[in-house]
Amino acid sequence: MQQYQQAMRQQNTCQLPQNVQAQQLQSPSLQSATGQPIHSTASSSLTTGNITEATGVTSNTNAPPAYSGTRDDQTKAVVPKPSTSTIESGVLTQLSPSNDQLGVSDQELQVFLSQKGLSSTFAEDLLKTFNPDNLDIKEEDIDGTTEDLFNGLDKNLTTADKSNTLTSIVSGQQPTGETNSTETAGVVKEETDAEQNSADVKSENFHGDEYDDRDKYDDDLEEPSKFSIQMDSKQLIAAVKNLSLEEPPPHCSVLHINAPPPSPPDCPPQRLTREQLLPPTPSVHLENKKHAFSPQLQEFCLKHPIAVVRGLAGALKLDLGLFSTKTLVEANPDHSVEVRTQVHQSPDENWDASQAKRVWACISHRSHTTIAKYAQYQASSFQDSLKDEHDKGPTGVPTMSDSDSKDSVSNSNVSGKRKKLKNGNKMLRFGTNVDLSDERKWRSQLAELQKLPAFARVISAANMLSHVGHVILGMNTVQLYMKVPGSRTPGHQENNNFCSININIGPGDCEWFAVPDAYWGGIHNLCEKNNISYLHGSWWPVLEDLYKENIPVYRFIQRPGDLVWVNAGCVHWVQSVGWCNNIAWNVGPLTARQYSLAVERYEWNKLQNFKSIVPMVHLSWNLARNIKVSDPKLFELVKMCLLQTLKNVVHTLEYVKSKGVEVRFHGRGKNEASHYCGQCEVEVFNILFIREQEKRHVVHCMACARKLSPNLQGIVCLEEYRLSELLQIYDAFALYKVPQTLPQSPNSSNI
């Protein structure tokens, strides 16, 4: 036990900033016009993703040696210092807006959220409170040097020459070191001291995917349509009034008017060599805080399907000990932990129950326990492993670091006798989805994460998920994962294809597998071939199956203090090598690519009867209120969503009135969660159809409400927003033209 505790304490500590606080988000219940609570599947404060974490796993340096075979080919290269900005078509743009460019700093956003909470009026309050013209943003003082937090990490990555052929295959263009500045959103301004803040970040010479949405949204290919984003609200209403009311409004898609229903894409056709099927891992090593806050780091992460930021904790002097098992037990021992009982297997293998053949199905059984009880199991598992290693002696067969673990004996207790399957494999318990959203319980932990650069923070004005307006557990809040060796996070894409952040707390390592999003259709087909649902099922890919289908796989180790950035749409699965904890959450960069992938998955989820826990319609209207968009592609995508949903709202109101149903204005409560149909679980925006079921008022979409009552008799129809409010937001949302900055005269002086 002492050795385990010593390993868990091997984290640098630093004093917490006293002026930083994290915001707890709450979601009160909705009440109907009659004063009764209204129920929907929306309760996002109680909702977590299917697999929201991109969980990494770790091995203890004092533990028995782990298996080998991991490919982590990194190269060292100096990231070129980009020019301070790029001018295209007279518009000054950068890769992604900083929060001061959005007219609000993260600190001010944090204070604002603490005072007011996230609510349906968050957008208007935010704009009123933080006027860009009056806001004085001071640049943070960044230290030039810092001491490495973990002595065992490599500071100099080895160099290897790798082919960039995969880049052109996935992205359809030649590899380049320049950033695609067309994916820019938000209010942007020239960063006059970008060169001063740039750092020679060490990275590998593998550019991965440089994504471009130009071909996908070519205005020249757009067919004439009765409805278009060029319409103002008056024209839209006039066009809707010409629609027939004999039939209910059709299914509302937020995609382009002429876009076909989404479907899994075909894999890129070009054949890859064996070396290209095992691409090197995009990786950078941070030496100090200046590197962590350099704009090149964000550019690097957005350029690749997945990226490892090594030494982040050391560079930022993060106190990872705040997330150690010992600290968690001391803080909240009775806090709930979801437990997954799994079979231990080698990371690149997955066998059926009889050990007769390799399969894709990854079976785990769910139960619950507390932090204190899981901590006891985690520590005893480590002790048992050391004892087994000692018992074997110097001449014994080496023991795998993830070979000894225990099975739980009840739903609330993880202690018990060691259990072994008939085939010799051990059972293990994986502590997952530990909710750290409550700022009252986890104030120190959440405050420590404010040290991260803005693009990686849980709450940031440049993070789409901060504009949802309510909690989505594990996405815009932090979740923690407690692991013993062999704990598995099965294959998945993040909810609605949002990016994710994962930090390894240690003391051990974790092994990651990742596939670029261009190949997710191929993995989907392999899941179906193996009789597993891509969205609903739990699967662990057989690597040889992927290679046979020409699907490349990144494979790498995440060490303590390393941050893994999972880009939008990247398919990934993770297994712990040793004993460790991880923290994770999602972020939504304000880019056309992120938004496009999110709404595409939103629509595909509907076809697959899978709930989108990110309410993309509600989010899009909040984005239209909160931000000024300078990227034409992102603007077109958001405006199209507003057009489609506003059209549906107006058409629905006309249809309901034609049936003689009264529409009652209900409004939205502070921090109120978005609503989902109680039957089909699609998002229900603005017009709520309420039917009493078992003394509960349940929200329905129109289609499900008409199944209960074709003429909507006995259905209460509630309106969350005044139509005039939506029309005003729609008309006000226009492409923001960034003012040109005139070059400074040589004779002028800086004040």
Residues 328 and 467 in one domain: yes
Helix (H) / strand (E) containing 501: strand 499-507
* DSSP string for residues in 582-622: EEEEEE-BS-HHHHHHHHHHHHHHHHTT---SS-HHHHHHH
SS3 label, residue 580: strand
Residues 443 and 310 in one domain: yes
Is 128 a member of any domain? no
pTM beyond 0.85, yes or no:
no
The pairing of strands 499-507 and 479-483 is unpaired
Supply the range of the domain harboring residue 524: 283-388+425-589
Question: Does residue 464 contact residue 623 with C-beta atoms inside 8 Å?
Answer: yes
Lowest mean pLDDT among 108-112, 376-380, 441-445, 693-697: 108-112
Residue of 719, 683, 673, 723 lying closest to 119 (CA atoms): 673
Higher-scoring residue by pLDDT: 154, 336: 336
Helix (H) / strand (E) containing 654: helix 632-658
Predicted pLDDT at 740: 78
Predicted pLDDT at 301: 98
Structural domain tally of the chain? Answer: 2
Predicted pLDDT at 534: 98
Residues 372 and 295 in one domain: yes
- Report the pLDDT averaged over residues 134-151: 32
Residues 248 and 324 in one domain: no
Residues 298 and 330 in one domain: yes
Predicted pLDDT at 696: 86
pLDDT of residue 156 exceeding 90? no
Residues 309 and 441 in one domain: yes
Higher-scoring residue by pLDDT: 541, 385: 541
Predicted pLDDT at 603: 98
- 607: domain CATH number is 2.10.110.20
Is 405 a member of any domain? no
Predicted pLDDT at 407: 32
SS3 label, residue 507: strand
Is 57 a member of any domain? no
CA dihedral in degrees (342, 601, 606, 364; nearest 10)? 0
Residues 382 and 454 in one domain: yes
Helix (H) / strand (E) containing 566: strand 563-566
Is 540 a member of any domain? yes
User: CA–CA separation, 231 vs 238, rounded Å?
Assistant: 10
pLDDT of residue 195 exceeding 50? no
Q: For a pLDDT cut of 70, what percent of the chain falls above it? A: 64
User: CA–CA separation, 596 vs 637, rounded Å?
Assistant: 7
Lowest mean pLDDT among 37-46, 182-191, 532-541, 689-698: 182-191
Residues 309 and 433 in one domain: yes
Predicted pLDDT at 164: 43
